[in-house]
A and B are shown apart, each in its own frame.
Chain A
């Protein structure tokens, strides 16, 4: 039991352990059961686990709630509107009002729907986001859960989203929902591939799969040294959280909501919260992987640095969301397989070769790497602009 975290599982465990040994064991237990040899370890274990899950759950919900307000305000500002401003200062209590509204709403399950799956789907949707929250490091010494294969874990867990969407879409017994679910099955699985390959570059350079290790390796943020990986990762992340320009799962104008067309009341609210949690999770991952996590000048604590960076990434996501239209289904697939996958592979190749040539412990060689990679990405974009023939192949007929 080393004290390597300010706040974490071990600290909590020790805290509870001490309390139990000092108070309960000495007085009450020995009085009731004088011959019982009492081991406070498992009680402390359960207590600390419960505390942590309680904290994570509430922090995640609060984060999602505040994010709904943030998103609505920022989107409104982009569109020249006010956004929610009725409840509380600057409309900050709007999420609470929304919650009350969703709770009091009738919970409709459509006729012929698979009731069990229909009910489970929101819960399945929610769990991955909550689990990922536990492993985002706020500071070098403060994280709730710590595992040395953080990235692998996060990828394994977020893959569950697809299953939840398919469950929701299939159980609704609605064709729009089914369309959305089928699209998500195709898209989310497709985008896992370039995303994982983009992160392979990060793992190569940092030599670690734990978040702390990656952040410590970023003397210079990886956005400078591996812009290709960053670009591919950001595109895949927007696709994973199904936001514009890849929001064809919901596709307001086509499907009228996609997989959550039939949901109402609190189930819909849970789906929405988990949907709003996805951008926070993805941008936190982006910050950890590419923007140096909690690194920054020391006058601000690390937890604030990481929050600031997350807000910045969220703002950029909202900015693109309010500006760019949606791509078509086949175009999204085309983008993943024809452009992002080769780019990610190219990134791995570049990083690997550069690592053999340069000494990556020195910052000058990292800067040189960065310059080479930025030149490559600009060259690729210029090369792509030669092929600006939109839809030439997809012209099926001319009426």
Chain B
């Protein structure tokens, strides 16, 4: 007579060290093997989309800071892009370059967080996390210099940016850019050839290119599967059409590739920032002075998206001619990227579950909005 066995059901989360916020996974285990996954989210729902309907177009900028709190600058940029398209506002050239610069800095900071937590989930308790946070701190210092806040920046406004960079900003930026490649070499020495890391991440959680496209995954995860798709190249916004950069892609689509793509993207970002510093107009307005605070775009609808560190971040705005949008829908990359989670996880071990979920790098602030 066969022994009757039942799957163990474990609630990973909402409070769990490696769920990146308040996320719950209801996992059925057969021993250590995952046989079913049921993601539960909504614990961090703050109703951003509904709140946006009661705010003026400028005030919504402060709400977007709180979406993906690891990359506020790109959130600001995505929203402001949509408003500018809706109200047909032009942006001064210096502001465009500043926007590109800060969003690339934000990409570096966000990817550094990813790398740190990736190793944390693999089991290095804190070491790499601290190294990455040490360097991210420099980026945040730059943001503080620029706009007075480190995380909730609210830096951009429809038609430009709030303030010009102070002179010491450029000096510190140069210092950071000189220091960063050395850190990246350190990271690569620590991770890329490490046999244990390879054993834990190579060929784990493979996402095939076709499936990635089918489930509309974007960002580094899509690129790790080998598809060269980047909105910065495909549909250049701001000053990206004047920049010269590559799109790093992975070959295998496994967890290791997702890490490697991000590290390469940091190098590309440094490259873009250097070009920005070279070609930014030395003087000029940083904000279109014709844009009023209470902006009243003509009634219509618009969808505009940018490449945030996590993927395609899009804003769909409907205006009825008033001071607030009639509807504001956010296409958040983390939320869409979560759709591949269940099929990716099934069949792997518990330790792999943590690594695969970590390699997707979702941010719960953005998933629940």
| Chains A and B bind each other | yes
User: Does A254 lie within 8 Å of B351, measured CB to CB?
Assistant: yes
> Chain B: how many interface residues by the 8 Å CB criterion?
46
Enumerate chain B residues within 8 angstroms of A78, measured Cβ to Cβ: 127
Enumerate chain A residues within 8 angstroms of B299, measured Cβ to Cβ: none
- B315-350: CB near A (< 8 Å → 1, else 0) gives 000000000000000000000000010011011111
Number of A-B contacts (CB under 8 A): 112
User: Does A398 lie within 8 Å of B200, measured CB to CB?
Assistant: no
A391 to B353, CA, bound (A): 15
Enumerate chain A residues within 8 angstroms of B208, measured Cβ to Cβ: 398-399
Say yes or no for A13: interface residue by CB 8 A criterion.
no
Which of these binds chain B: A20-28, A294-302, A317-325, A367-375? Answer: A317-325
Give the distance to chain A from B127, nearest Cβ to Cβ, in Å. Answer: 5
Say yes or no for B246: interface residue by CB 8 A criterion.
no
Say yes or no for A17: interface residue by CB 8 A criterion.
no
Interface of A is mostly: loop
Please give me the residue from chain B that is nearest to A81 by CB atom.
B130
Enumerate chain B residues within 8 angstroms of A175, measured Cβ to Cβ: 8, 10
User: Does A245 lie within 8 Å of B196, measured CB to CB?
Assistant: yes
User: Does A327 lie within 8 Å of B17, measured CB to CB?
Assistant: no
Chain A interface size range:
35 or more
Give the distance to chain A from B213, nearest Cβ to Cβ, in Å. Answer: 13
Give the distance to chain B from A67, nearest Cβ to Cβ, in Å. Answer: 17
Please give me the residue from chain B that is nearest to A247 by CB atom.
B123
Which of B32, B130, B198, B200 has a CB less than 8 Å from the CB of A79? B130
Which of A325, A328, A390 has a CB less than 8 Å from the CB of B124? A325
Residues in A76-100 with C-beta less than 8 Å from chain B: 78-81
Enumerate chain B residues within 8 angstroms of A392, measured Cβ to Cβ: 203
- B104-124: CB near A (< 8 Å → 1, else 0) gives 000000000000000111111
Enumerate chain B residues within 8 angstroms of A324, measured Cβ to Cβ: 123-124, 194, 196
A390 to B190, CA, bound (A): 18
Say yes or no for A170: interface residue by CB 8 A criterion.
no
User: Does B10 lie within 8 Å of A176, measured CB to CB?
Assistant: yes
Give the distance to chain A from B223, nearest Cβ to Cβ, in Å. Answer: 17
Which of B124, B127, B203 has a CB less than 8 Å from the CB of A391? B203
A326 to B207, CA, bound (A): 23
Say yes or no for A397: interface residue by CB 8 A criterion.
yes
Enumerate chain B residues within 8 angstroms of A35, measured Cβ to Cβ: none
Per CB-CB distance, the 9 closest pairs between chain A and chain B, nearest first, are A326-B123, A325-B122, A79-B130, A390-B202, A391-B203, A325-B123, A396-B347, A253-B18, A399-B343
